[in-house]
Amino acid sequence: MEKNIDKKEPIQGKNKDSNEKDSVLLNAQSLRNKAEFILDQKNTNRSKRIDILSNEEILKVIHELQVHQIELEMQNEELQRTQQTLTVEKQRYFDLYNSAPVGYCTLSAENLITKANPMAATLLGINQNELVEQPLSHFIHPEDQDIYYLCRKKLLDTQKQQHFELRLQIKNSAELWVYVVASIEKIAKDSYELRLVLTDISDRKIYENELHRIAKYDALTNLPNRTLLSDRLYQAIAMSLRHNQPLAILCIGLDGFKDINDRYGHEVGDRVLILLAERMKNIMGHEDTLSRFGGDEFVAILLNLSSIEYAIPKINHLTEVINQPININDMTIQVTASIGVSLYPQQEHVDSDILLRQANQAMYHAKLSGKDKYHIFNTHNDDTLRYKYKFIAGMDDALEASEFHLYYQPMVNMKTGKVIGVEALIRWHHPTKGLLTPKEFLPIIVGNKLTVKLGNWVIKTALAQMEHWLAHDVVLNVSVNIDVLQLKENNFVVNLQKMLETHPSINPENLVLEIIETGQIHDLEIVSKVIKQCQILGFSFALDDFGTGYSSLTYLQKLPVSCLKMDRSFIKNLQNNPDNILTLKGIISLASAFRLDIIAEGIDTIEHGEILIEMGCEQAQGNAISYPMPADELPGWLETWKAPSSWKNAMP
Ligand code: C2E
Ligand code: MG
Ligand code: MG
């Protein structure tokens, strides 16, 4: 009989052991079969009064039914609990979806919005209900439509998630930059939907644009900087060739500008520069370029000269506007300039670098032959070259005669007061001209081998100084400035290692190499390789004057440095130029994104320090901390140095 009962069909097509649920169902089915069988038998045999089941058997089936009922009740409770969890999860998901700080947007295959969360609606500048059935392309900036369609196509072709950035165009509002992550989801056999996650990156874009701007324009005068000048000069040469018209490159150096700074202060100095920049710009032709090349040096490119003689009246006019008196704060200041000129084309092939160098040399020639005049570089009359080589030979002799010295300027953590290191800065104790700063002699030797010789001398001297301090229990990180030309010397790494070997007590980690003139790094791969090799030896690297070079971002991505030194021009003009705050914030957040140390240069006043701490940059170097000093003064300074209390209390 038992066999008979079990013969009744169990559950079709299910594996008995497949899972717990199946086995419960199977038991239920078998119990139901048993119960039905009892009822059947009772009904058919009632008239015959034959009891085919013993009481014992009936009790057993009833017991089994009761057990099963309990099982079902328990299962029901379990189901209810699961249901409750699901409801909570679903609510959580909706809460997240509704309050997410990023926009979620679902699109149909026809590119229409089918669903969007409130943040997506905010980003797209429209009510959430009104979004549905709208084409997404309506909200994309016309110039970025292509980006969207290309990425969408790539997503459909590859079925792989796509990441891209574009601008949204919102009615009556400024454009908004978003970072988009797009994925594709199959929802039926032949249909799919696109899911987009939109993140507002407008703030980052403002920083980035600002970085690009400062990369090409001088912060003080808003004139093109060296980088943009290089581009313009390159184009000017191409134009000159095409139209067969000569061009002139003018290197304009203000005479005695250091005296103006020393006598009236930097603020007045800056105003003089701004004013002179304006005056010169006003008399430039609309296709000419006037750029600020460095502190008190400007470079102009004069185009469209029907013949080279036409440059002369322009130069005289420039001299005239520079010489006009300047009235600031009831003072009258008069400035003169020495102008060096190089001309294009020349008999020999020359490129933009050579042209600039020639103009620069001609300017030094003008300065040395009495200032307040111009000098035209003439390849046939090699006075200029002769002067240059005489100067270089003089510098070489001075190096042998130990006229060069390293001064050291401390770098500190402004909040804690801790001294984090010192930067070695070269000075020339000239027997007749007095103390010369690098600006007065380094530009003349650019591109000459003496740069490398002098560079090696700097490293050797710094190492010897470190060893000397170490012997007196002064352990300091020392940063030296390295010219890119030196870094690219074939045997730079081997040389560095040799120099280190002669000072075995020095830990290479205490020597930091600051790369200057980053604008001249044309082959990032080579420089990056040298940096890596030096890092294996233990040395670390900083990018000097960060923020002024063209490809600041590229440098960060390509060069494995551990520290950025923010250029002092941003700090110097902090009060005059609120844009600089934005720039500094951008650089600080870039450094943090790349996990780099950051040091602000040129902290001239205590207030500069306070502003920087508030912006999140605690490490600094500048005259407010200490002027560069001779090596033997440093131990005394270290003993007495204390950070101003307003720095300790300043909050980021
Ligand atoms: P740098 O490497 O950016 O050095 C910092 C410059 O800023 C130093 O000028 C320093 O005196 C100046 N400075 C620091 N704090 C302040 C401040 O609060 N206000 C102002 N107005 N200036 C401040 P320095 O010594 O005249 O050096 C100028 C540049 O010459 C250096 O800029 C570096 O590019 C180059 N240089 C200096 N020493 C060497 C060297 O040994 N080798 C090479 N290749 N270049 C060097
Ligand atoms: Mg430096
Ligand atoms: Mg610097």
| Residue pair 519/549 in contact by the 8 Å Cβ criterion | yes
Listed residue (373, 139, 175) closest to 255, CA to CA = 373
Global pTM reads 0.59
Q: How far is the CA of 567 from the centre of ligand 3 (A)?
A: 5
pLDDT at position 553, please? 72
Mean pLDDT in residue range 360-382: 83
The domain limits of the chain are 16-97, 103-205, 219-377, 403-649
**103-205: CATH number:** 3.30.450.20
Q: Which CATH superfamily groups domain 219-377?
A: Reverse transcriptase/Diguanylate cyclase domain (3.30.70.270)
Please indicate whether residue 544, judged by its CB atom, sits closer than 6 Å to ligand 1: yes
Amino acid at 392: I
Confidence of residue 600 (pLDDT cuts 50, 70, 90): very high
Listed residue (516, 494, 615, 630) closest to 565, CA to CA = 516
Same fold, 103-205 and 403-649: no
Please indicate whether residue 478, judged by its CB atom, sits closer than 6 Å to ligand 1: no
* Ligand 1 pocket mutation pick from 568, 611, 621 by most atoms within 8 angstroms of CB: 568
pLDDT at position 430, please? 93
Asked whether residue 245 carries a pLDDT value surpassing 90, the answer given is no
* Ligand 1 pocket mutation pick from 449, 481, 517, 570 by most atoms within 8 angstroms of CB: 481
Mean pLDDT in residue range 492-519: 92
Which DSSP letter does residue 379 get?
S
Residue 527 CA to residue 532 CA, distance in Å, equals 9
Mean pLDDT in residue range 144-162: 95
Tokens of residue 410, six digits: 């401390």
**403-649: CATH number:** 3.20.20.450
Residues 418-448 pLDDT 10s: 999 999 999 999 998 889 999 888 878 877 8
Least confident of 191-195, 241-245, 307-311, 548-552: 548-552
Burial of 535 (0-12, 13-18, 19+ CB in 10 A): middle
pLDDT at position 23, please? 61
Please tell me the residue having the least CA distance from ligand 1 atom 38.
Answer: 425
Residues 522, 528, 532: CA angle, nearest 5 degrees? 160
Q: How far is the CA of 116 from the centre of ligand 2 (A)?
A: 51
pLDDT at position 7, please? 41
Asked whether residue 612 carries a pLDDT value surpassing 60, the answer given is yes
Q: How far is the CA of 183 from the centre of ligand 3 (A)?
A: 45
Q: What is the mean pLDDT of the chain?
A: 87
